[in-house]
Structure 1
Amino acid sequence: MAKRTGSADLPLHGGRVPAWLATRMSSLGAVVTQAIVHHYGRDEFLRRLSHPFWFQSFGAVMGMDWHSSGITTSVIGALKRGLGPLQHELGIHVCGGRGQHSRKTPDELRALGDRIGFDAVALTRASRLVAKVDSAAVQDGFDLYLHGFFVTDDGRWTVVQQGMKGDSKQARRYHWHSETVKSFVDAPHSAIDGRPQGEVFNLTDQRAAPSRSAQLDLLTSLGADGIVDEFTALTGSQAAQPPLPHLIMPAHHDVRSSDVFTRRLHGTLAAAAERGPLDFPDLLLTPGVGARTVRSLAMVAEVVHGAPYRFRDPARFSLAHGGKDRHPYPVPIKVYDETIRVLKSAVQNARLGRDEELDTLKRLDDQARQLERMASGPSLKEFVGGELEVSASLGGRSVFGWEADRRDPLAAAK
């Protein structure tokens, strides 16, 4: 049966991703996907998407708000744009999205079925059942507004969808994966993300099988009016479900030391300092940016190669490219673009049979894991302070504008 991998609390945020970040997220998302598929295959990419902690870390390394529910919308949108031109090469397709885009999922699946040859009818049914289960069979008070359907040429799929509870300003994300789904009504989720809030009626739980059967019997024998009468006569309470491991996404926007496993950060910094000069001299050509880019590449490499347990602190991955809301610091555009350039070069060469550059990134990740046991380094406050100090020189940008504008009153007034 399907397993749940955990849960997460996601503050509900509004707003839009600015165009300058959206285009870069699409590029970075596409090249990271290519690297994962190259090393581990497209089924592994689907498994990554179905893991809530990895998904949040993936969005954070792209420069989105590290704790926000907006990561779900922006990551799905970025992958839909970025993987569109690569769908024939990778055999991975992204359907659906937010609002009206979610309702287009059946049409998109039918069009793919006609072109590729998989069973679009079965996949469309799966899409509808997933949405129906999370909106009706799991009654947790969250209204669905987003449905992303990832499917491969051979018909394997992952669904990521999200609901909101406006009065509490919370969102809940649901993950599904076809590899583990044996039944749509018997423990089908790979994970349900969100803050436990009151009683949740989850008829998809394995322990609810007798309840589902009894409900059908009642409907047959008593009819709707009889069920209402029986319900008013009943008293008692249901036993609480045992808690699942869950990741708490706090309301505060700033990244704090409690949000980050510092020893892993120190391992990344040490690996970048030791391996960068040895492995990257021919790749990093932009003066003054190279050493800083290696640090970002080390975090991106962990997203590509890291085991699930390494994503328990998604905030750490926001230290690769900052955040659009200036937390932990403005997005360093020069570093972001250099990261994309290096990754694209590595992926393009790997397609030609030259794996040296992609293997270099893997060595960088391996080195970070070894060094984190003994490495020391700056505190999180010192690290973020250093990034803020050089932000303008690295093309720091946020939704508030260019960092240089914020430091230069004359430029800001123009």
Structure 2
Amino acid sequence: MARRAGSADLPLHGGRVPPWLGQRMARLGAVVAEAIILEYGRAEFLRRLAHPFWFQCFGAVMGMDWHSSGITTSVLGALKRGLAPRAGELGLHVCGGRGRHSRRTPDELAAVGERTGLDGAALARASRLVAKVDGAAVQDGFDLYLHGFVVADDGLWVVVQQGMDGDAGLARRYHWLGEGLASFVEAPHAAIDGRSRGTIVNLTDRRAMAARRAQIDLLAATGPDGIVRELAARDGRPRPPPAAPTLPHLVLPARHDARPEDVMLRRLHGALAAAAEQGPRDFAELLLVPGVGPRTVLALAQVAELVHGAPCRFADPARFSLAHGGKDRHPYPVPTLVLDRTIAVMKAAVDRARLGQDERLQAIRRLDRQARALERTATGPTLAEFVAGERAGSAGLGGRSVFGWERPPVSRPAAPAPSAGTPSPCPDSPAPHRSRPPPGCRRAPGG
């Protein structure tokens, strides 16, 4: 049965995704989607898209602003571009988008129906109904401007759409899951993302059944003029207080910087420990791409968590931004070399798995398990220390943001030669100006 899964506040951000990041997002999004499909099936990937916490983490690991409403547009756009060449093979089709693209959704669904044998007219009707419910039956002050419809060849579908409240500077994301959907007008949402901001009209709530029936009866008995008279008669009467929310809320702040309260550090430390020790030793199959070392394995550990993690693991999207940074330079510029290596390793693993050779894909699964096991005991840098280390080495890792390429730090006098026992830099440590490896490249006590 379709369910409402949670809610979140997303600050509105303008601007566009730069082409250098958009192309990488499309490649990473497609390969993560394919890995999930290979491991768990198409239905599970659609369920992930219907999970608001996972969806936000998905965008954060791609290099988008971890807290922004722009994740919705960019993730759907990346999937549409990345999956289109493989749509026939994967049996997955992404339709719609933002603005004028959203209005083309029914036509795109009709075309999908012609290619696959699905009932395109029924899919188009579902698309229109979903938009009407969130735009009219749920009146919460957010005007819809984005509508994405993802459908599989077996008819399963998910809708992600978003509305904005320009005056408040907020966005609200709505998730629908077609699996088991019994009604478009009674509790149909998989999730509605947005903080409670007072009394709203939600005629899709199960408790509103009497109100829906009363509207039909009133319209049939009195016509539009009678409804106007009834509203006038009720004017000034006290309204019942809104029901207390019973679902978890993902509240994302307007500030750009990621702070310690935004990140579950023990999980970050587990990934760091797995990357520093278990990666180079136990995951040789992951390291065949030139230049891959613990820094890339750290990013792979967080991508692996996206593929294999349980829903409870996605409560802190800021942590996933620590894999590949953010285009706005928060928490640090996107390390394009690391992002490219992550994509290359994942693509090689998925390509071999399609041929029946899944040892690399299984290595990524083991990396996720190892990180989770180590987080119980591993220690490591504070968030500020980790971010400072990434910023210091950003130029050597191809650091880039909407502000341009990162420049190397100003040259300083050479540091004294390390004494015996001083750890050497990690394989993909970015620059020789550091006399110590980046955070996480040493064994964590107890790890």
* TM-score, structure 1 normalization: 0.96
Query: Shift of the alpha carbon at 1:284?
Result: 2.6
SS in 2 for 1:404: coil
Query: Shift of the alpha carbon at 1:258?
Result: 0.6
Query: Shift of the alpha carbon at 1:242?
Result: 2.4
1:55 matched to 2:58? The reply is no
Structure 1 window deviating more from structure 2 (190-199 vs 207-216): it is 190-199
Q: Which structure 1 segments of 5+ residues have no match?
A: 409-414
Q: 2:403 aligns with which of 400, 405, 410?
A: 400
1:289-328 aligned within 5 A: 289-328=292-331
Counterpart amino acid of 1:387? E
Q: Which residue of 2 aligns with 1:412?
A: none
Separation of aligned partners in 1, 2:16 and 2:409: 21
Counterpart amino acid of 2:189? H
Query: Shift of the alpha carbon at 1:287?
Result: 6.2
1:325-344 aligned within 5 A: 325-344=328-347
- Verify the 8 A CA contact 2:349 2:358 in the aligned structure 1: yes
Q: Which residue of 1 aligns with 2:242?
A: 240
Distance 1:104 1:226, change over 3 A: same
Separation of aligned partners in 1, 2:370 and 2:287: 19
1:142 matched to 2:145? The reply is no
Distance 1:395 1:289, change over 3 A: farther
- Verify the 8 A CA contact 2:176 2:191 in the aligned structure 1: yes
Q: Which residue of 2 aligns with 1:273?
A: 276
Q: 2:390 aligns with which of 363, 374, 387?
A: 387
Q: Which residue of 2 aligns with 1:411?
A: none
Q: Which residue of 2 aligns with 1:210?
A: 210
1:116 matched to 2:116? The reply is yes
- Verify the 8 A CA contact 2:161 2:175 in the aligned structure 1: yes
SS in 1 for 2:191: strand
Separation of aligned partners in 1, 2:103 and 2:18: 24
Bigger radius of gyration among the two:
2
Separation of aligned partners in 1, 2:203 and 2:40: 35
Separation of aligned partners in 2, 1:242 and 1:130: 25
SS in 2 for 1:265: helix
Structure 1 window deviating more from structure 2 (236-245 vs 252-261): it is 236-245
Query: Shift of the alpha carbon at 1:173?
Result: 0.2
Separation of aligned partners in 1, 2:157 and 2:285: 39
Separation of aligned partners in 2, 1:289 and 1:279: 14
Distance 1:391 1:289, change over 3 A: farther
* TM-score, structure 2 normalization: 0.89
Separation of aligned partners in 2, 1:219 and 1:146: 32
Query: Shift of the alpha carbon at 1:128?
Result: 0.3
Counterpart amino acid of 1:183? S
Q: Which residue of 2 aligns with 1:36?
A: 36
- Verify the 8 A CA contact 2:334 2:399 in the aligned structure 1: yes
1:14 matched to 2:17? The reply is no
1:345 matched to 2:381? The reply is no
- Verify the 8 A CA contact 1:180 1:188 in the aligned structure 2: no
Q: Which residue of 1 aligns with 2:367?
A: 364
1:172-183 aligned within 5 A: 172-183=172-183
- Verify the 8 A CA contact 1:301 1:364 in the aligned structure 2: yes
More helix by share: 1
Percentage identity across aligned positions? 69
Distance 1:264 1:255, change over 3 A: same
Separation of aligned partners in 1, 2:143 and 2:260: 33
Counterpart amino acid of 2:240? Q
Query: Shift of the alpha carbon at 1:228?
Result: 1.1
SS in 2 for 1:64: coil
Separation of aligned partners in 2, 1:110 and 1:301: 35
Counterpart amino acid of 1:236? P
Query: Shift of the alpha carbon at 1:324?
Result: 0.2
SS in 2 for 1:4: coil
Separation of aligned partners in 1, 2:259 and 2:162: 26
Q: Which structure 2 segments of 5+ residues have no match?
A: 412-447
SS in 2 for 1:118: coil
Counterpart amino acid of 1:369? R
Distance 1:407 1:196, change over 3 A: farther
Separation of aligned partners in 2, 1:307 and 1:315: 17
Query: Shift of the alpha carbon at 1:192?
Result: 0.3
1:355 matched to 2:353? The reply is no
- Verify the 8 A CA contact 1:96 1:102 in the aligned structure 2: yes
